[in-house]
Amino acid sequence: MTLVRPATSDDIDAVADLAEEMDRFYGANDVEPLDIRRQQIQEALFGDPPAAYALLATDGGAGIGFAAYSFLWPAVGLTRSLYLKELYVRQGRHRGGVGRQIMEGLFEVARKHDCSRVEWTTDQDNPGAQAFYETFGVEPNESKLFYRLEQ
């Protein structure tokens, strides 16, 4: 049975494992050593203040997917929004409802925090993700351009 819940510091290894698989899915040949990934996750999710938050999907205690998100302000007026940075479901678990459960968990987090919107992006060359997001009845927002400065 799949359970979606906020990640805790006890989940660092599960998140690190999923993040490595995600990086390889997106074409990375090399990833940081496990101790560095653990430290990065500890600082990002459980530092003071946290830079982000995560939901973890598990099945029988094993991590099968996660979402990393942050809150942005301002959104509409002086409200805030929830920004989904990454959503990843382990290979072999696609099309089993895990991604939908994670998204529904994110929508609930947004409601609990009085967010006026939930926002996310996906790569233009990822038609599977685009088709998945369309199942929520959300159309791409063509009025925005995405910029990235690498440092």
Q: What is the residue range of 66's domain? A: 2-134
Q: What are the pLDDT digits (tens) for 105-134?
A: 999 999 999 999 999 999 888 999 999 999
Give the pLDDT score at 2.
Answer: 95
Residue 63 lies in a domain: yes
Give the pLDDT score at 144.
Answer: 86
Q: In DSSP terms, which residues pair with 81 in a beta bridge?
A: 72, 117
| Percent of the chain clearing pLDDT 90 (strictly above) | 77
- In sequence order, the 6+-apart residues with CB closer than 8 A to the CB of 61 are none
Residue 126 lies in a domain: yes
Residue 67 lies in a domain: yes
| Percent of the chain clearing pLDDT 70 (strictly above) | 100
Dist CA 86 CA 23 (whole Å): 11
Residue 150 lies in a domain: no
Spatial CA neighbour of 111 closest among 81, 135, 147: 81
Residue 142 lies in a domain: no
Q: What are the pLDDT digits (tens) for 56-93?
A: 999 999 999 999 999 999 998 899 999 999 999 999 89
The structural domain count of the chain equals 1
